[in-house]
Amino acid sequence: MEDGIEGIDELLRDRLLIMVRDRSAINVLPHVRPRTGGMVLTGADAPVRCREIRNAFPGTVVAMDLESHTREVATAEAPFGLRTSYGWRSLGLTELNEILDGQRENRASFAVTPTCFIPADETGDATVLKAVITEANRLRREDTVVLLPCSYRWLQGVSLLHLVEQIRTCRHPVALIMQADEDPLKRSRVPEGLRQLCRSCPRLLLWRTDLAAFDAMAHGALGAAVGASAVLRFGVAPRPENGSGGRKPYTVVLVRRLLRYLRVATLQDWFAHIDPWTCDCAVCKGAALTRFTDSDADVLAALQHTVCELYALHDELDSTLPGHEREDWWRQQLADSWEHHRLLAAQTDTEVSFPKVLQAWRRPSPLPVPMTEKPRRQDRSGPS
């Protein structure tokens, strides 16, 4: 049994997964590093794609996120559920086991719980979160990651202490999704809260995220899953229309030296009068980052470029020792990014502001939550 627990932790340690819709999986696959990377598939065809990819490339890590969190809110009575062709189904322990077995039968490298969305803790006693962890701890299996799709407010104040406490009691590695109406890291105290969480919980994966994956891994997170498209870079509150897709995305690229995603149209504005920056990744081969149009082929090429650049950055992280060396490396990346922003503004004579999230990451890190610290109820009454 203990071997199994170590097995899944070792499988996930320092791993950078790319979260991608079923229809884009095959196009992303060639750019995923087999040894240090992998994929998390979403969408109705995720099980089929997972089986195909794992049959053809048994060495590639692939898992799936069934996205129950985009469709239903968790309750203490029904923390897990699934949309089926017969409608919504809440899952008891037996059915939950069947769903996890089903993922493994489709050759997923590990199973992921279909957890429903965990809203902000209004009552202050973390009832729903506790129900998720308690039920997951009844699973007698060592191949499963417990998904925690949480409101960003779990990263703030006393809720963070509850979150740390619950993740520490979990028998399985945990994958955290942060939900907000827009980038959750723009909310006050969330970047600090996430760092504190990562430093306090060594079996934490950051899931459905962006470059926060690197800040998290620099601060002790086990691994991360970065979204290939904008909608897969943070959690969304459940809505009936979620998952239907449809909206055509505008073209976005990762600009590694700036540590940020940018619309190609923005880059074209910035580089209207000077030579545009080029990229040496396997997709760009020295071409300009401003070249991408809104055509389907270019949207795909931009995605492949972004995946290449994520792994180039991850190679650097992966070559550092966890702890101070890795934190120093990340601090240097942020300092370089600040310098590139400054230079770019000077060269292009345009306003290039340094994003708030990057500013927050340049600040000193909070200490981990001590093992003994117990969250208190969020009231202001005197000592009892």
Residues interacting with Zn ion, by CB under 5 A?
Answer: 279, 281, 284, 305
User: Rounded distance, CA 361 to CA 370, Å?
Assistant: 22
For residue 350, which phi and psi values (nearest 5 degrees)? -125, 165
Least CB distance to Zn ion at residue 309 (A): 6
The gap between the terminal CA atoms of the chain, to the nearest Å, is 42
Nearer to Zn ion (CB atom), residue 5 or residue 262: 262
Residue 183 CB, nearest approach to Zn ion (Å):
23
Shortest spacing between CB 273 and Zn ion, in angstroms? 23
Closest approach, Cβ 254 to Zn ion, in A, equals 8
Residue 34 CB, nearest approach to Zn ion (Å)? 20
CA–CA dist 382, 376 (Å, integer): 12
Give the residue with the Cβ less far from Zn ion, 18 or 279. Answer: 279
Question: What is the identity of the amino acid at 43?
Answer: G
* Residue with Cβ nearer Zn ion (205 or 284): 284
| Residue carrying structure tokens 């489709």 | 106
**91 or 281: whose CB is closer to Zn ion?**
281
Please state the closest distance from residue 208 (CB atom) to Zn ion, in A.
23
* Residue among 82 and 302 whose Cβ is closer to Zn ion: 302
DSSP class per residue in 179-247: E-SS-GGGSTTHHHHHHHHHHH-TTEEEEEESTHHHHHHHTT-SEEEEESSGGGSSB----TTTT---P
Closer to Zn ion by Cβ: residue 208 or 305: 305
Amino acid identity of residue 298, one-letter, is D
Residues 6+ apart with CB under 8 A from 141: 4, 97, 100, 111
Nearer to Zn ion by Cβ, of 181 and 280: the residue is 280
* DSSP string covering 31-90: GS-TTTEEEEEESTTHHHHHHHHHHH-TTS-EEE---GGGT-B--SS--BEEEETTEEEE
Name the residue nearer to Zn ion (CB basis): 200 or 306: 306
Residue 233 C-beta: closest distance to Zn ion, Å: 19
- The token pair at 193 is 């809260």
Q: How near is the Cβ of 279 to Zn ion at its closest, in Å?
A: 3
From 10, 65, 86, select the one nearest 225 (Cα to Cα): 65
